[in-house]
Structure 1
Amino acid sequence: MAVESRFVVIRDGVEVQTFMDKKAADEYDKMLDMADNLSAMLSDAPIELSEQLIEDLSIFLAQRREEVLIALQAKKAKPAGKTLPSTDEAAPVKASGKAKTTSKAKAGSSAASEDETLPQAS
C-alpha cells in the first residue's frame, strides 16, 4: 500500500487547488492572500471596476508580484544572465585594437550597405 501526502489549499470552505509539495501549496496560498489584499484595495478605487475585473486584476498582479515591486521601484531588477564585469576589467577591452577594428568595420559596412541600398531604392 502506498502512502501519499497531499496539500490542499482551501478558501472560504472550497477546495481551490491540491499540491504534492508543501512549499508550492504555501506559495499559492500566499499569492491568494496578496490577491485578496489587492482586491480590497481595488474595490476602494475611485474608478468603477466590475467584480470579475477586480478579481482577475488582483490575481494577475499577485502572480507577478516581483515585476510589480520592480515597476514600483520597491525592488531592483535582477540582472539577466552573466554579471557584468567591473569598470576596471572592462576598460582594457574597450581600448583594445579589436574595438577599433570593429568600429572601422562597422563604418565600412554601413557605407557599403548605403551603396547597396541606393540602387535598389532608385
Structure 2
Amino acid sequence: MTFTSKKEADAYDKMLDIADNLLPFFESSNLGLDEATTEKMCFYMAENKDQLMSLLKGGAAAKPLPAKKTAKKAEAKE
C-alpha cells in the first residue's frame, strides 16, 4: 500500500499488529471458524477497534456504518 503520510502508514501498521494479535485468540476458540472467516473478523475488529473497545467497556453500540457505495451499486444491479 502507498500512504500519503507517515502517520497513515503507522496507523495501518498498528491495525495489522492488532489483527495479528487477534488471530491466536480466535484460533484457540471452539467456534469452528475457517481461516478466511477468522482473518476477516480479525481485520474488521482491528479496523473498528475504538468502537469495539467502547462495546467491551459496556458502552452502547454506535449507529451502523454506512455501506460502501460499491456494495450498493452491486446490489442494485442484481
Q: Same fold (TM over 0.5)?
A: yes
Aligned counterparts, 1:28-39, within 5 A? 28-39=12-23
Aligned counterparts, 1:105-120, within 5 A? none
Q: Does 2:42 align with 1:58?
A: yes
Deviation at 1:46, TM superposition (A): 1.4
Q: Which residue, 47, 72, 77 being the options, matches 2:31?
A: 47
Deviation at 1:22, TM superposition (A): 0.2
Aligned to 1:35, what secondary structure does the other structure show? helix
- Name the CA distance, whole Å, in 2 between partners of 1:27 and 1:68: 17
> Which consecutive unaligned segments of at least 5 residues does structure 1 have?
1-16, 78-122
- Name the CA distance, whole Å, in 2 between partners of 1:67 and 1:25: 21
Aligned to 2:33, what secondary structure does the other structure show? coil
Amino acid at match of 2:47: Q
Q: Which residue, 46, 52, 55 being the options, matches 1:68?
A: 52
Amino acid at match of 1:22: K
Aligned to 1:70, what secondary structure does the other structure show? helix
What's the TM-score once normalised by structure 2's chain length? 0.71
Q: How many residues were matched structurally?
A: 60
> Larger radius of gyration, structure 1 or 2?
1
Aligned to 1:42, what secondary structure does the other structure show? helix
> Which consecutive unaligned segments of at least 5 residues does structure 2 have?
61-78
Q: Provide, for residues 65-108 of structure 1, a one-character-per-residue CA deviation record: whole Å limited to 9, x for no partner.
A: 0111000017x68xxxxxxxxxxxxxxxxxxxxxxxxxxxxxxx
State the identity as a percent: 37
4+ residue runs over 4 A deviation:
none
Measured on the aligned residues, the alpha-carbon RMSD in Å equals: 1.5
Amino acid at match of 2:8: A
